[in-house]
Amino acid sequence: MLQQFLSMASVRRWVCGVAVVVLGVALSGGSAYAAQRSASPEKKHKVVAKRTSAKVVAPRKLVKSSKPVRVAAVSAHKPVRAVVHRPSHGELAGLRDQNDPLDLKSSVALVVDQDTHEVLLSKNDQAVLPIASLTKLMTGLVVSQARLDLAEPITITEEDIDTEKGSRSRLAVGTTLTRGEMLHLALMSSENRAAHALGRTYPGGMKVFVEQMNVKARLLGMTDTRYVEPTGLSSKNQSSARDLAALVNVAHMDPLLRDYSTSPGYEVDLGRKTLQYNNTNALVKNPDWDIGLQKTGYIAEAGRCLVMQTQIAGRKLIMVFLDSAGKLSRIGDAQRVRQWIELKTVASPSASSGNAQQPLAAGRQG
């Protein structure tokens, strides 16, 4: 019995030992599994960290891709710069606030019968304002009446570059054209470097040329007029509508100025390339208009300007428009005046000067 008990006790010990081993293995397996569980969040954390780092990087990519946004922001500022308004002298003087029967957009207007000198319409005609490139009409008159050699070659130099307004030119430094071609481009396309070169190469130089411009003005009775340079880029070049009408009347008598100023276009052969220039006045290409002489002008201080000699309803007329606000408004004013004159002619072919003076009085009263 004792032996049987002992053998059974040994069996129990063996079973307990096995149970302990099994339990130990199970426990070690559990701890390993627990270790794996505890390790897996770290792996997940690392993955999450990578994703988090990716999210951190993403804004950097957005910052890089924000360049177009910056460009858009810059381009959005361009209209703001364009909106920055530089008032003209006429606007500062309050001339744009004055009304007239034709609702003209120009602060100053004058329409005169070239044959009878009858004033058909007047609005602030004695106001003295900057005249921009209308200056080039006097430049052309001085060159033409000096009887200079039009075939003489003139080369554009650094002196001809615009330092007043910084305007561009298609005539690069070193370009050589004849004096006649320079005059053509100055009158037709308002080429500033060409006009400056004409004054610079005048006998005696620029100083003598500007003096001649002012002498010519005095001879024509242009008492409100002053010139300081031949292009019109300076706002110190100033005149009145009445003075400019006198200039147009004389310039129209010059065949060269008539031809060059009303030329629709001109092609300049520079050897390696050809430049096509067009007239700055769109009305010269309009078959409904008969224009004998014209000149346009613009700088901020002067607004949009236009002078013309034309025929309407059988009458030779001189038109002057100064300080017009919009790009097309000076052309629109010319159209309005034309329609008004045509209507008056149809209504009364022998319209009296009294009726014609009505707009003049209304215009002056504003």
The residues annotated with a catalytic role in the active site are 133, 136, 190
HSE-up (13 A, CA, CB side) for residue 3: 0
Q: For the residues of 15-30, what is the DSSP string, one character each? A: HHHHHHHHHHHHHHHH
Residue 48 tokens read as: 């999450």
- Cα angle at 239 between 199 and 359, to 5 degrees? 140
Residue 111: beta bridge partners? 121, 319
- Please give the torsion angle defined by the CA atoms of residues 331, 283, 85 and 162, in that order, rounded to the nearest 10 degrees: -150
Phi, psi of 337, rounded to the nearest 5 degrees: -65, -40
Count other Cβ atoms within 10 Å, centred on residue 111: 31
3-state secondary structure labels for all residues of 200-233: HCCCCCHHHHHHHHHHHHHHCCCCCCECCCCCCC
In order, the DSSP letters of 297-341 are: EEETTTEEEEEEEEEETTEEEEEEEEEESSTTHHHHHHHHHHHHH
State phi, psi for 108 to the nearest 5 degrees: -130, 135
What's the one-letter identity of residue 255?
Answer: P
Strands 291-299 and 119-123, bridge-based pairing? unpaired
H/E stretch holding 196 reads helix 192-200
On the CB side of 272, CA atoms within 13 Å amount to 2
Cα distance between residue 163 and residue 161, in whole Å = 6
Q: Which residues contact 351 (CB under 8 A, 6 or more apart)?
A: 344, 345
- How far, in Å, CA of 147 to CA of 236, rounded? 28
